[in-house]
Structures are given as C-alpha cells and as structure tokens.
Structure 1
C-alpha cells in the first residue's frame, strides 16, 4: 500500500484499553493508516459489563468509573501522540457500554473500513470466564479486523 487512491482503508478504528497489547495494536494500525493516507478513530470504551448497581457500593462504583475515565484519557493520549508523530489525523472517542458491542456499533455508524484491536491471548477457562472482546468483534464485524497479540 502506497497511499494512492486505490487504497481500501480510508477510516481505521483503533480500539484501545491502554494495555501493552492494545498499544502494540495501535502502532500497527497507525502504520497502516499512514500508508493508506487514512484517518484514525481511536476508541476507548468504559465497560459497563460488570457494573455494580447496589446503593452500598455506588460510591465505590463511581470511583471506579472515574479511574477508568483517567485510564482512558491516558490510553487515547498515547494513540493521539502516535498519530501526531506519524502525521495521521486522529479522532478520539470515549463511549460507555459493553466494549465489543460499542466497537461494532461505532464501526457501523462511522463507515469504518478496518478495525484494529489487541488481544490478551487468553485461552481455556480464563477465556471462558472473561470472554474475548477481540473474538466477538471478529465474529460480528462487517469489515476486516486486524487482531494483534
């Protein structure tokens, strides 16, 4: 890919959770976006998958949400910096919900051409208990998904 008009990727979605694997995925996604002269949308989802709703732990839950917002700001900031260094336009987005669902929804609603995600490489019982965001995105996406481990 040399960035000519024949490129298939005009909008690349990089989903990040701030982990080492997500940072690695962002690096690959940024490289592809630069080569394709594409814009990058970086998405951080504050997960409500295991939200706590009882009154006794509501303040704890609010503290956790603030922590996750801070973590998201750092994660998105890292990808924005990559974009700045690469000369790639980056649009930053925070959403709240179930991560895989929000990634897929955002990709559909914003005509994303490629989704880039990292995976923690969990297997066996850990994967069964925790679930895999990357796997769900791959199974249900209408566009190509690049998974980096």
Structure 2
C-alpha cells in the first residue's frame, strides 16, 4: 500500500497554484500527512538568450514579500481543505529548482504541482515548472490539472 507522510506543494499565488494547494491539502488530510507549502522567490530576473519576445526574455520575479503573502493565502486554502499539519517554507531560487531542492533536503514523499504552462507553446519551447520538476524530482510527482483555474 502506498502511503505518504509528508506532501509538498508549490504556490506562486495564482489561482492555478491554489488549485494545486487544494489537491495537496486534500491528500494530506486523507493520508494524515504533513503538508509543506513552498513558495519560491527570487529578486533578479535573468535574460534568456535570443528570446523572440520581450515577455519571454526573462525569468519571472517573485519578491520575498510576495512569497510571504502567497504562503499565507495558501495556508487558508489548505486549512479549508482540512489539512491538520501545515508547514510554510519560503525558498530562494527559481521555482523548479527550489521545489526539487527542498524535497531532497526535507524527506518529502510526494510533490504536487499544477500543470500551468504544460499545454502552452511557450511552455513546450522554453520549458515550464511542472516539466522541470518531473525531470528532476527524487520523489513521486502529482500534476494537478488546473486548466479551469488559470490566471
């Protein structure tokens, strides 16, 4: 029987990431597992070489204060879903790297992410967080279909 004692989920404050938090919190409740909510932050953008459009030319910036707010909002969602043990972590770095690094260092059994960017041309060409997480995660990854929650 598969069981999970620690489930992690990433949030960037978007509606789609809140849907992933809701799914992870539900699983944490069902498995009586600790829920670790992670928000990555980084203060500097880095240009992508030869990016054809301005909107593709840098990594999105999420300030540290914004990450704090994302975590507070996600905690409310997780509590509404009935997760009993919730831990909030603000991690410096690019989202996919921060998530996989935190999972490796923290004994997480399952990582939950939304599918934001998976079905877009930009995501297919330049990569996206869910794909990078799946490639690099040392644990099982659950990708939540958040298409109805895109923002």
- Shorter-chain TM-score category? 0.7 to 0.9
Greater C-alpha Rg: 1
For 2:3, the equivalent position in structure 1 comes to: 8
1:71 positional shift: 2.5
For 2:18, the equivalent position in structure 1 comes to: 23
Among 86, 94, 98, the alignment partner of 2:90 is 94
1:22 positional shift: 0.4
Compared CA separation, residues 48 and 146, structure 1 to 2 (3 A): farther
For 2:148, the equivalent position in structure 1 comes to: none
Q: Mark the runs of 5 or more structure 1 residues left unpaired by the alignment.
A: 1-5, 53-63
Matches within 5 A, 1:1-149: 8-47=3-42, 50-51=45-46, 68-85=63-80, 86-123=82-119, 125-128=121-124, 130-149=126-145
Q: Distance in 2 between matches of 1:122 and 1:114?
A: 20
Structure 1, residues 25-49: CA drift from partner, whole Å, max 9, x if none? 1101000000000001110001367
Q: Mark the runs of 5 or more structure 2 residues left unpaired by the alignment.
A: 48-59, 146-151
Runs of 4+ in 1 over 6 A off after TM superposition: none
Q: Distance in 1 between matches of 2:144 and 2:120?
A: 19
* RMSD over aligned Cα atoms: 2.4
CA contact (8 A) 1:49 1:97 kept: no
CA contact (8 A) 2:21 2:78 kept: no
For 2:55, the equivalent position in structure 1 comes to: none
**More helix, by proportion:** 1
Give the aligned length.
132
1:141 positional shift: 1.1
Q: Distance in 1 between matches of 2:14 and 2:67?
A: 10
Q: Distance in 1 between matches of 2:115 and 2:64?
A: 21
